[in-house]
Amino acid sequence: MMGGHPAAIVSSAARTNAGGTRSSETAAIELFGVTKVFGEGPSATPALGPLDLAIETGSFVSVVGPSGCGKSTLLRLIAGLEKPTSGRLRRYGDDLDGPSRKVGIVFQDHVLFPWASVLENVMLPAEVLSLPKAAALERAHWLLELTGLKDFASHKPHMLSGGMKQRAAFCRAVLADPQLLLLDEPFGALDALTREELSLELSRLWQDLGRTALLITHDLGEAILLGDRIIIMSDRPGRIRLDMRVDLPRPRDVNTMKDPRFIEIHQIARDLLFTRQRN
Amino acid sequence: MDTSWKAISARAATPLIYLVLTILWEAGTRVFHIPGWILPAPTAIFTMAKDWAPELLYNTYVTVRETIIGFVLALVLSLPLAVIIAFTSTARRLLYPILLGLQSVPKVALAPLVILWLGIGNWPKIVIVVLVCFFPILVNVVAGFEAVPKPMMDLMYSLRASKLAIFRRLRAPIAMPHLFTGCKIAITFAVIGAVIGEFVAAQEGLGYMILVSTAQSQTPLAFAAIILLTFISIALYYAIEFLEKKFVTWHP
């Protein structure tokens, strides 16, 4: 079924060179035969892999999959918050060794500190990483203005709407100008309308910032709308079922979703997501 | 109009109940001719309190002083220990079981020993207050340091935050409400601790006054002292709650 379709489908095996020899310089993230198993002995549950994957610098990659397929685990592995059970991960050509200051994460639930103001929350990376204060403050204000939070800088998070909280979380994630932005279902807790609005806004911001981004989501439309490439994962243990270029022009907006090409890609991916994998 | 009446009656309900109970008490002692040395009438307590006002006031001062000094000492001692326990796993493994074990010791039972070791004076009473305040504060603060939600921890890890940074920016603020919970428990214990200390061996304080006046069948005076102790307890509790509202302005 996969091979029969005219879409630009690239199998995961073909994308990365097997064996883990040094691959192209442009890859932001490379995974070689990565697996993750939770627990030990008889209660061990394989969550992920084996997985080979390369994410090119500057690209926006969306990972879609059914819940529990290990897509969040994939993000945590790339973030360095989890260690793989086997296989290797590389970030910008270096073996991945724990979290990096070059990576910014937007978590599923905004994770803003309730005791700190919006500005203080956004400034957290600057404080923790001891960045030059004045420059960081300037950037924080610029980001808040960009995301429409300028007037809420001194507000506490509980006074903000869900969408505003997630915008603040985004500002915090990009404050230290990370090379790689990891988005773990960032719109998961929002209503449909806010979701759409915010994802388009994010798409625009990402283009302005020009960084590599990895989006984890269970929303196919969102994945296609934002991504240069979508990766569809199988049920647990998560493997790559489809790796596909999204050759839609940028900048994208609400009308992108009416584009025949969008609908076509959506159809292919949907068919795949809804037909259960057979061994 | 209807709603404002509701609001007023809701606010007035508690004092009204107290007033009714006091009147019932007064009426009961008169109707049933209860002897004053068993259950004095509120008016009798009030008259006695007026006559003994200087003594009551002075002894209130003594008890409050012991309570506050003991409480503050307990705070000063337990906070660094809580930090050490939260910070080092070795200290946690070694100290925490001991402290939890000690917490189970009825501190009241230690009072005679404390007097035996420290003699009669202010210090044994303060030490008993410290003993009863120490554990609730410590246990709550340690729990607070550990009440960090995992995503917040992940955020700090993702920034490669040092242990100190995680403590300063995350654990300490998270622990603040827990600290105040511990303090509120401790302050009510503190008053009890002070009174127990005064019961066992003392020459002043409201506990001492209760002991002496009941021994002399001056029950109204004992009641006056008990009422004062209750007010002290309530006032100190609300003082801490006031501080909590000032310092913990955030909603989880």
List CB contacts (< 8 A) between A101 and chain B. 159-160
Is the backbone peptide bond immediately before A186 cis, with ω within 30 degrees of 0? no
Shortest Cα–Cα distance, A72 to chain B (Å): 13
**Contact with chain A for residue B170, Cβ under 8 A:** yes
The pLDDT of residue B237 is: 96
The pLDDT of residue A198 is: 83
The pLDDT of residue A4 is: 36
Of B225, B218, B229, residue with least CA distance to B192: B229
| 3-state SS assignment for residue B185 | helix
Q: What are the percentages of helix, strand and coil residues in chain A, rounded to 5?
A: 40, 25, 40
pLDDT at B118 over 80: yes
pLDDT at B13 over 70: yes
Q: CA A201, CA A256: separation in Å to the nearest integer?
A: 14
**pLDDT lower than 70: segments of chain A:** 1-26, 276-279
The pLDDT of residue B62 is: 94
List CB contacts (< 8 A) between A103 and chain B. 158
Mean pLDDT of chain B: 90
pLDDT at B195 over 80: yes
Asked if B165's CB is within 8 angstroms of A128's CB, the reply is yes
Average pLDDT over residues B13-24: 91
**Contact with chain A for residue B159, Cβ under 8 A:** yes
Our CA angle for B118, B123, B128, nearest 5°, is 90
Phi/psi at B205 (nearest 5 deg)?
Answer: 105, 160
Asked if A81's CB is within 8 angstroms of B154's CB, the reply is yes
Q: CA B172, CA B165: separation in Å to the nearest integer?
A: 10
A53-66: pLDDT as tens digits: 999 988 999 999 88
Asked if B249's CB is within 8 angstroms of A124's CB, the reply is no
Q: CA A188, CA A64: separation in Å to the nearest integer?
A: 13
The pLDDT of residue A12 is: 37
Asked if B158's CB is within 8 angstroms of A80's CB, the reply is yes
Q: Determine which helix (DSSP H) or strand (DSSP E) holds A181, and give its type and residue range.
A: strand A180-184
| 3-state SS assignment for residue A131 | coil
* Tokens of residue B56, six digits: 């009551």
The pLDDT of residue B54 is: 94
Asked if A109's CB is within 8 angstroms of B151's CB, the reply is yes
Q: What are the percentages of helix, strand and coil residues in chain B, rounded to 5?
A: 85, 0, 15
The pLDDT of residue B3 is: 65
The pLDDT of residue A19 is: 37
Asked if B156's CB is within 8 angstroms of A81's CB, the reply is no
Asked if B152's CB is within 8 angstroms of A111's CB, the reply is yes
B125-151: pLDDT as tens digits: 999 999 999 999 999 999 999 899 999
B56-97: pLDDT as tens digits: 999 999 999 999 999 999 999 999 999 998 888 888 888 888
Q: CA B212, CA B225: separation in Å to the nearest integer?
A: 11
Q: CA A42, CA B127: separation in Å to the nearest integer?
A: 54
pLDDT at B202 over 80: no
| 3-state SS assignment for residue B3 | helix
B122 pLDDT band (50/70/90 cuts)? Answer: confident
**Minimal Cβ distance to A81: which of B158, B161, B169:** B158
Q: What is the pTM of this model?
A: 0.82
Give the count of alpha carbons within 13 A of B111, CB side only: 19
List CB contacts (< 8 A) between A114 and chain B. 250-252
Asked if A99's CB is within 8 angstroms of B157's CB, the reply is yes
A12-32: pLDDT as tens digits: 333 333 333 444 456 889 999
**Contact with chain B for residue A159, Cβ under 8 A:** no
